[in-house]
Amino acid sequence: QQQKIYNFSAGPCILPQEVLKQAQDEMMNWHGSGVSVMEMSHRSKEFISIAEQAEKDFRELLNVPKNYQVFFFQGGASMQFSAIPYNILGDKTKVNYITTGSWSEQAQKEAKKLAQTVEAWQDHASKFTTVPNPETWNIDKECAYFHYCDNETIHGVEFNDFPFEKVEGMTLVSDMSSNIGTRPIDWEKYGVVYAGAQKNLGPAGVCIVVVREDLIGKQRPDTPILFDWKVFRDAPTKFHNTPACYPIYVTGLNLAHMKSQGLQHYQDLANKRASALYDYIDASEGYYTNPVEPKYRSRTNIPFRVKKDEKLETKFLAEAQKVGLIELKGHRSVGGCRASCYNAMPFEGVEALIEFMKKFREENP
């Protein structure tokens, strides 16, 4: 029998075994159609029903109101870094961004190509280990929108109490790629929420973009057609061109699975996994360390160092891999280790990781 593997990859990531099994069972012949979803026309009634069901399950899981459009785009969350200013800058010239890690930094870099970016705060000193007091943010209400990243995948910084009152009246845009599906979203507060599927919702190839209806139609005249939300909204079945059919299908299978468990289940699980791991790290007397201010620690991406010793970390990663705990290497820009615990990570995976960390510490004092 093959060794049990727990995949802590930051994305593409672990998916539930049940979902993979269902995809396997339906691979050659989807629901008696005689063809694989990979072979279907994206205009066929079969594929349209798959995409519609995926959207329905996403809406139900996260309680998305009717006045928000849900899109399944290609190009990843990175494409939306560019598409967002093209679509909603309108007749404004400025946009407000807060940089709390690498992803919000990259988002802002793209926006700069089209607009003047007003930085709410930039954490050079803390190397992205906290979020500053919102009282000190530089908020410019003349800006077309305010953008933030709800969870920084590389630095492990998550907004656990976004100060909505500070940006009242502004269009709020949030990148939720690495924590979507781990708690409810208060939709009324947002204009745009986007998330690459390949962490919490499905395989790579789909970026889910949720846009409040009134924001669609303000795009610049030079908006590239594949960035243009209105073109997609107005296209039959909301696909202007050929979508990533198979990734949408697998995302749909996973969304149906998640819906059957309910959002509360995933929220409880995310909290339970993160508390167990941080508690162990904090109790390790400095052997393992996480640099993030506790209030802003990510529940899904947990970076840590092993005695702040690169050699020891290399050994840690190699030994972890041997016992089936894979993809624990930190992002190349920050080094160290990182345990990404997305929706499909069972609590047993974190228990196995903690057991391994204890043993490694004993053996390498």
Q: Which of 9, 33, 36, 78 binds ligand PMP (CB under 6 A)?
A: 78
Site string for ligand PMP, 11-40 (x = CB under 6 A): x-----------------------------
Residue number, 71 or 360, with CB nearest to ligand PMP:
71
Q: Is 208 in the site for ligand PMP (CB under 6 A)?
A: no
Residue 113 CA from chain centroid, whole number: 24
Least distance to ligand PMP, CB of residue 179, Å = 8
Half-sphere exposure of 309 (CA within 13 A, CB side): 12
Active-site residue numbers?
Answer: 103, 175, 199
DSSP symbols for 70-135: EEEESSHHHHHHHHHHHHH-TT--EEEEEESSHHHHHHHHHHTTTSEEEEEEE-TTTTSS----GG
Instruction: CB nearer to ligand PMP: give 175 or 228.
Output: 175
Number of residues that bind ligand PMP (CB under 6 A): 12
117 vs 177, beta carbon nearer ligand PMP: 177
- Compute the C-alpha angle 179/181/183, nearest 5°: 85
Using the rule CB under 6 A, which residue among 8, 71, 73, 103 binds ligand PMP?
103
Which 284-303 positions form the footprint of ligand PMP (CB under 6 A)?
none
Comparing CB distances to ligand PMP, the nearer of 105 and 119 is: 105
- Residue 362's CB is within 10 A of a number of other CB atoms, namely 8
Residue 290 Cβ, how far from ligand PMP at the closest point, in Å?
A: 18
3-state SS, residue 208 = strand
- Asked if 142 and 96 count as a contact pair (C-beta separation under 8 A), the reply is no
Q: Please, what is the minimum distance in Å from the beta carbon of residue 337 to ligand PMP? A: 17
Site for ligand PMP in 148-207 (CB under 6 A): 149, 153, 175, 177-178, 196, 207
Contact yes or no for 88/192 (Cβ under 8 A): yes
Place of tokens 């400025």: 94
- Which CB, 177 or 254, lies closer to ligand PMP? 177
β partners of residue 211: 69, 192
Q: How far is the CB of 196 from ligand PMP (least distance, A)?
A: 3
Neighbours of 257 (CB within 10 A): 18
Give the DSSP letter of residue 178: T
Distance separating alpha carbons of residues 187 and 210, to the nearest angstrom: 10
**Stretch in the footprint of ligand PMP (CB under 6 A) among 72-80, 113-121, 286-294, 342-350:** 72-80
Sorted by sequence, the CB contacts under 8 Å of residue 119 that are 6+ apart come out as 97, 98, 99, 108, 138
Give the interface segment with ligand PMP, choosing from 71-79, 126-134, 212-220, 256-264 (CB under 6 A): 71-79
Whose Cβ is closer to ligand PMP: residue 77's or residue 120's? 77
Our CB check for ligand PMP shows the closer of 92 and 109 to be 109
8-state DSSP, 31: G
Distance CA 149, CA 165 (A): 17
Q: How far is the CB of 195 from ligand PMP (least distance, A)?
A: 8
User: Which residue, 182 or 287, has its beta carbon nearer to ligand PMP?
Assistant: 182
The encoded tokens of residue 30 equal 């989807």
Residue nearest to ligand PMP (CB): 76
**Interaction with ligand PMP in 306-335: which residues (CB under 6 A)?**
none
Q: Shortest approach of ligand PMP to residue 220 CB, angstroms?
A: 21
At residue 22, what is the residue type? Q
Closest approach, Cβ 174 to ligand PMP, in A, equals 10
- How far lies 206's CA from each of 79, 126, 219, 249, 289, in Å? 11, 33, 22, 10, 34
CB of 358 to ligand PMP, least distance (A): 29
Residues that bind ligand PMP (CB under 6 A): 11, 76-78, 103, 149, 153, 175, 177-178, 196, 207
